[in-house]
Amino acid sequence: MDIQPKRETKEGDCERPRNLVRVILSPEAEEAYKCLIESNSKIERSLLNAIRRKTELIRANPHYGEPIAKKLIPEQYKIKYEVTNLFWVELPNFWRMIYTLKNDEIEIIAFVLDIFDHKTYGRKFGYLH
């Protein structure tokens, strides 16, 4: 899922802004994002709003998040998404958003891999067992 803002052109058609950074959600992150959209909970609404704000900050500065040491990158991410770098962003209520940067000649893609609570984050990165 690509969560880019759209803007109107003179003809009334929508097009992507000409930014060089695009934020895309993995299937796992997209599932979490959709659950937050469908929820009426104030806590989940605050998470959704924070994710939207943080993705704008990542678009402005792809290195906005805190880097995660290469030795701590879960093998699952290395295999499934060919991750060589990883960043985390703090969200309300101890949630985390994890993303990696992919670079091609035209644009930088910030690929959001997961959105999860602190306990799940701790397990995935080996802090909790």
Short-list 16, 25, 82, 80, CA closest to 52: 25
12: left (phi over 0), alpha (psi -120 to 50) or beta: left
For the chain, how many structural domains are there in total? 1
Per-residue model confidence (pLDDT) at position 7: 46
- Domain enclosing residue 72, as ranges: 20-124
DSSP one-letter code for 2: B
| 9 lies in some domain | no
Q: Which residues of the chain have pLDDT under 70?
A: 1-19, 105-107, 128-129
> According to the model, what pLDDT value does residue 27 have?
92
Let me know if residue 83 belongs to a domain.
Answer: yes
In a domain, 50, yes or no: yes
Q: Which two tokens stand for residue 35?
A: 């659950």
Domain contains 12: no
Domain-located, residue 108: yes
The reply to whether 8 falls in a domain is: no
Residue 100 domain-assigned?
A: yes
Q: How far apart are CA 18 and CA 125, in angstroms?
A: 35
Q: Residue 49 belongs to a domain with what CATH number?
A: 3.30.2310.20
Q: What is the pLDDT of residue 95?
A: 92
* Within-domain flag for 59: yes
87-119, pLDDT tens digit by residue?
999 999 999 999 999 987 666 888 999 988 888
